[in-house]
Structures are given as C-alpha cells and as structure tokens.
Amino acid sequence: MPSDNLAKQAPAFRAALIDWYDQNARDLPWRSAPSTYGTVVSEFMLQQTQVKTVLPYFDAWLKKYPNFKQLATASEEQVLKSWEGLGYYSRARNLHKLAKEVSEIPESELPTDSKSWLKFPGVGPYAAAAICSISFDDPSAVVDGNVVRILSRITADESDYKNSTDAAKSYRDLVQELLNPERPGDHNQAMMELGATVCHKQSPNCLLCPVREFCKGYAEGIAEEVPKLAKTKFEDKSVNRAWIQDGKRVLLHKIPDSAKRMKGLHELPELLPLKLATPKAKPLAKRKRSITRYRITENIYKFSPAKLPQQLPTDYLWVEHSKLGELPFSGPHRRWITELLDD
DNA sequence: AATCCGGGGCT
DNA sequence: AGCCCAGGATT
C-alpha cells in the first residue's frame, strides 16, 4: 500500500482538501452555530444515517431540547418519541444518558480529548474523534465509511475486507498522518463531505475531486472497484404478531429494559408470550422488511380479546386509540398500526 | 471477532 | 428490488 508516498504529500493533500471544503461545504444546521451540544446531537443522529434523513430530526430536537440540561430532565419516553422513525433507538437512550452525565460536570471540567469521550455511553471511536475535533480542535482523525472509501481509492487498496470495522482499522494510522493539525474538525468534515458528495460508492465524480492528483485508484482506473468489502448474506425470518382490539383500545407490548433491543418502544405483541396459537387462516396483514442481515416477513393475525389469557403478562397494555400518538414506536410498527386502524 | 440494531433514499 | 449509509454495544 503506497501510504508512505501519500503521507509525504500530506501537506499538499490537506491544503487541496480544505480549500475545496471552504468553497463547497454544504450549509448544514449543525455547522451554522456550532456548540458542543449541537455537535454531539448531530454525531449521534448521523451514525449509520444519511444527512438528508437527519435534517428534520435535528432541527426539531434542538428546538425541544436546546441543551444538555434540558435533555437530561426529559423523560425517556419523550426522548424515544422524539427519535421515532430515526432507527437504532439505543442511540437515543445513550444520548439521554450522556446528557445526564454531562449535566453533572461543570463546563470548565468537561473533557476535550477523544480518549475521555470514549467513556460516555454511545460514544465509540468515530463519535469521540468527530466530537472532539469539531468541538475542541482535538487532533483526532475520524474513520467512517466515507473515509474508508476515499482512502481505499487513493491508495488503490484492493485488499479483501471482512467488514467495515476491519477496513477502518487498516486506515487508522494513515488517516491520522493526513489530519490537518490546524483545523482537525474541518479536515474531518471535509473528508466525510467529499465522500458524501463526490467520492460516491457508485459513479464517483472524479472530475470534480480536489484530491484526484493524489489518487492512485483514479490513475489506475479502479476507483469504483474498491474498497472490497465482503457482502452480507441475508437470512429469511418470519414473525407472527397479534392485532387485538377491545372497543376503542388495542393491545400493545412495551419492550422492557431487560430486552436486547428496542428497549422502551412499543410494538404489536408476538403470539407466543400471549399463548396464542398461530391461526391457519390468512393473516390480517403481511409485511416484508429488511433489517441488517434479515429479511423478515411479519404476519399480523387478528384475534378476539376473549382468546387472551385471564391475566396479561407484564409489559402488555391496552391503549386507547386516541393515546397511540403519544407512545414511541419504531417506524414499521407505527405504520402498521396506522394502516390497521384505518380498516 | 461476530452479531445485532432500522429506516429512507437512490439507482 | 437491491444497495448503501457521518457506528456502537454486546457477547
């Protein structure tokens, strides 16, 4: 890997990149009036989520929770409700916990280095480097999916990677050498901006690229073929759920804190915990969706409340139709309930 | 080291 | 309909 050559050209690379960024940076709300809080919120929301999706959530979030203290005093249900539809809901819970921890720290004692920020919930190597470089000029380079893509192309790295984590590790040293020590936050954002707007996964716009002259992948015509990341295999899975109405109420399951995922969200109950047998009749609704490596078929069956056990298990609740809007759901559950209520 | 989390936008 | 995306926690 020609990283030695690239490292020697680091000053020229940095200059070309930052000049381009100064001219072409998108006007994003978390850039217009930067604060540590706004930076933290944006970095949590942007994990595995595209800018366009985040925009409306970010604005609403800052209006509702303008600072760490206000977020810290909100209820978890409110916080999850505000996150509804963004996905990866543990991010919201972790951001809430982080706000509670940060609120207890006098502002002058808030850490400004990425190693310290790693201790906060929901903050991994990427977020720690992003937050500290942007907010405190800490010289920590980020390695996200964009950076991996850019550097694999610039170095014409045709290695086969099992996953993005392994690829990120292989660029840790190079990306740190390239970092602009004068403006680490802008440099990091410039790399990600370049990946998001020019160095696309498919059909990279090399003719507009400010660092094309450093790009071995471009010179060799293989930019589009790297990085080589193993493809994930999908697994089919089906889940059976119950739609049970009793007058103007519908039965829901609140996912407990002891669960592995989607804690605190509500969902249409699965059949097994309610001792409901899978009907032979056609389901009321059939929905397909993909989550990570699963293709899930959700079968939603209609039951009469009379079929339920005498005593409902814990965490199951009847909710008035008029109150459904107040509870947090994941996007799909929110959609299904809306669709089924219209029937 | 492997596995899991959701959703939307784009081609 | 598939593919991808400003990753982190858990085991």
| Residues A285 and A339: beta-carbon distance below 8 Å | yes
Which nucleotide C1' is nearest A90 CA? B5
Instruction: Write out the residue limits of the CATH 3.90.79.10 domain(s) in chain A.
Output: 235-342
**Structurally, what CATH architecture does the domain formed by A3-229 represent?**
Orthogonal Bundle (1.10)
> Looking at residue A1, what is its pLDDT?
44
Given a cut of 50, the residues of chain A with pLDDT beneath it are 1-2
The CA R_g of chain A, rounded to the nearest whole Å, is 24
Those nucleotides of strand C lying less than 7 Å from any protein Cβ are: 3-11
Amino acid code (one letter) for A277: A
d(CA A168, CA A4): 18
β-strands A285-291, A249-254 pairing: unpaired
Distance C5 C1' – A146 CA (angstroms): 9
> Looking at residue A3, what is its pLDDT?
52
CB atoms within 10 A of CB A189: 21
- Residue whose entry in the numeric block shows the structure tokens 């493809």: A231
> Which CA-bearing residue is nearest the C1' of C6?
A46
> Looking at residue A250, what is its pLDDT?
94
DSSP E strands, A141-292: 160-161, 228-229, 235-246, 249-254, 266-267, 285-291
**Structurally, what CATH architecture does the domain formed by A235-342 represent?**
Alpha-Beta Complex (3.90)
Please say if A224 is a catalytic residue.
no
In tens, the pLDDT along A263-294 reads: 899 999 999 899 999 999 989 988 888 777 78
Longest distance between any two alpha carbons in chain A, whole Å = 75
Instruction: Write out the residue limits of the CATH 1.10.340.30 domain(s) in chain A.
Output: 3-229
Q: Is A162 exposed, middle or buried (0-12, 13-18, 19+ CB in 10 A)?
A: exposed
Find the Cα–Cα–Cα–Cα dihedral A132, A137, A143, A147, rounded to 10°.
140
